[in-house]
Amino acid sequence: MIKQLFPIRHVIGYLASLVLSAAALVVIYGDLSDAANMVVLLVTAIIQASLQLFVFMHIGESADTKKELYINIAYALFVGLITIFGTLFIFVWGWYA
């Protein structure tokens, strides 16, 4: 019964997300360079987000919408990232100083 209610995929996914969150703490307790810290944050965050998407949200489970869902998320990320980095490009990196 308990085994049935706690599928191994979910348990591993959960443990992995805990480990990744803990690993990210290295940026405040560790002694890495700023650039290395950003890499750590990016890598742990992206893996965790993917865990949610693929393990918990079952994005690929329905064969007749799989492709559309990937395009949907890809387009959303395209717009989101363009907004973030485009704006930083305008106001921070590319500002006329």
Q: Note whether 60 binds another protein by CB under 8 A.
A: no
Q: Is the dihedral of CA 28, 39, 12, 55 positive or negative?
A: positive
Q: Using the rule CB under 8 A, which residue among 3, 24, 35, 60 binds another protein?
A: 24
Write the CB contacts of 30 (distance below 8 Å, at least 6 apart in sequence). 37
33 touches another protein (CB under 8 A): no
Do the Cβ atoms of 28 and 48 come closer than 8 Å? no
Per the CB < 8 A criterion, the answer to whether 48 and 13 are in contact is no
36 forms part of the interface with another protein (CB under 8 A): no
Q: How is residue 87 annotated by DSSP? A: H
Residue 23 near another protein by CB under 8 A: no
Residues found near another protein in the complex (CB under 8 A): 4-7, 10, 13-14, 17-18, 21, 24-25, 27-28, 34, 37-38, 41-42, 44-45, 48-49, 52-53, 55-57, 59, 62, 64-65, 68-69, 72-73, 75-84, 86-92, 94-97
